[in-house]
Amino acid sequence: MDPQMMVELGALTLVGGAALIAGVAEDLESDVGSQSNPNSQVQLAPQMGYLHRLYNKAISGEPASYPFYAAIGASTALAVLSVTNNYSLIGVFFALVAGAFITSLIHGVYATTSYMGRIASQSRFGQPVYLDVLRTHTPVLMAHGFVANFSVLLLTWVLIEQNLSPFPFVVLAFIWGIALGGVGSAVGDVHLGTDRYYQDRPYGSGVNAAHSGSVVRKAESGLRNSIDCAWFCSKFGGPLTGLGFGLVVYLHFWKEVVVKGWWSPVAGVIMVIIFIVMNVYLESYSRKRYGTYKEESE
């Protein structure tokens, strides 16, 4: 095996690992904030008379907020690098940390504004703003966001260093932010929404219009807050999101590094076909195995 390919395979492993961590942290972060699609139910709850102590972080959806964080982080890292002019391993590492740190501060500010803004706009339903929810949840959000964003910046930097992408650093980080947000929104949120907010309804029943906003508000002990949701989702939804994003990144660059040149799009098409076949099989298997949802007879 030629040395260049060894280096590229090493980079590939690093990038895949960073993507895995980014996916896990991203999903748990969005669960603490109840962002993206389950957010509509949290938003609706006070209106339906279900006052709650959940966080309501609407910084757009995840596929828009993650590129936002990634672009800020990448710009900051680039600014730090150009000021320090230290492109050694340690210099780059600290620049990426600085980028992720500044981003997590801005993330925290945006998170507080959306919690306060949305709750204050529901005052007619009597939903109070809980400052302890704000105080306890925001640092958790920022920390998870930091990990996710740092991982995105790291994987972007490795790709740029290895000349695996034609885009400038900030643009590539932005694109991976969209991918990360998209995967997090599609994979992990289902676990949060159906298994956590509607854990008292049979799985697969969907949310009946009559149950809109009727999210579970009591926890195993006391009242539920959104950090409990992250604890629950860290068992399944978060790791699965990590696996999803890790696979997207890993397989994409695996075909670039191992199957080179014009064959790499062909390999990509074959992979997509394999995934489609697997998904169809999985769906038809589970439909046959568990059947359709039966309305409960009351």
Partner 1 sequence: MAEGDRSPGSLLGIGVIGGLIGIYLANYLNMVTGTAWFSFIAALGAILAVFWGADAVRRVASYGLGTGVPSIGLLSIGAGQIAVLLGLAIGKFAGLELADPIIALILAAIVGIVNGVMARRVIKMNIAIMERSMTEIAMAASIILLGFSTAIAGSFAFDQIMAYVVASGFIIMVFIVGGMAMLHPFNACLGPDERQKRTLNLALSTGFLAMLVSGIAAGAINGVPAAVPTLIVAIVGWIIYYMRFWADTKQDAAAMLSTGLIPKEEEVMT
Question: Where along the sequence are the contacts to partner 1 (CB under 8 A)?
Answer: 40, 43, 47, 49, 51-53, 58-61, 64-65, 67-68, 71-72, 74-76, 78-79, 81-83, 102, 106, 109-110, 113-114, 116-132, 167-172, 174, 217, 223
When the beta carbons of 67 and 237 are compared against partner 1, the nearer one is 67
When the beta carbons of 64 and 97 are compared against partner 1, the nearer one is 64
202-209 contacts: CB < 8 A, separation 24 or more? 202/293, 202/296, 204/290, 204/293, 205/293, 206/293, 207/41
Half-sphere exposure of 231 (CA within 13 A, CB side): 8
Q: CB of 174: closest distance to partner 1 in angstroms?
A: 5
End-to-end CA distance of the chain: 67
Q: CB of 65: closest distance to partner 1 in angstroms?
A: 8
When the beta carbons of 63 and 238 are compared against partner 1, the nearer one is 63
DSSP bridge partners of 218: 223
Q: CB of 243: closest distance to partner 1 in angstroms?
A: 27
When the beta carbons of 136 and 205 are compared against partner 1, the nearer one is 136
CB atoms within 10 A of CB 291: 9
Q: CB of 160: closest distance to partner 1 in angstroms?
A: 10
Q: CB of 70: closest distance to partner 1 in angstroms?
A: 9
Query: How many residues are recorded in the chain?
Result: 298
Q: 134 and 117 in contact (C-beta within 8 Å)? A: no
14 by DSSP, 3-state: which? Answer: helix
Tokens of 63: 């596929």
Q: CB of 50: closest distance to partner 1 in angstroms?
A: 9
When the beta carbons of 92 and 102 are compared against partner 1, the nearer one is 102
Q: Closest Cα partner for 36 from 161, 257, 165, 189?
A: 189
Backbone angles phi, psi at 129, to 5 degrees: -85, 120
Which amino acid does the sequence have at 267?
Answer: A
Cα(53)–Cα(200) distance, integer angstroms: 18
Q: CB of 170: closest distance to partner 1 in angstroms?
A: 3
- What does the buried/exposed string (b/e) look like for 176-194 if buried means 16 or more CB atoms within 10 Å of the residue's CB? bbbbbbbbbbebbbebbbb
When the beta carbons of 114 and 194 are compared against partner 1, the nearer one is 114
Helix (H) or strand (E) holding 126: none
When the beta carbons of 37 and 264 are compared against partner 1, the nearer one is 37
Q: CB of 213: closest distance to partner 1 in angstroms?
A: 13
When the beta carbons of 172 and 247 are compared against partner 1, the nearer one is 172
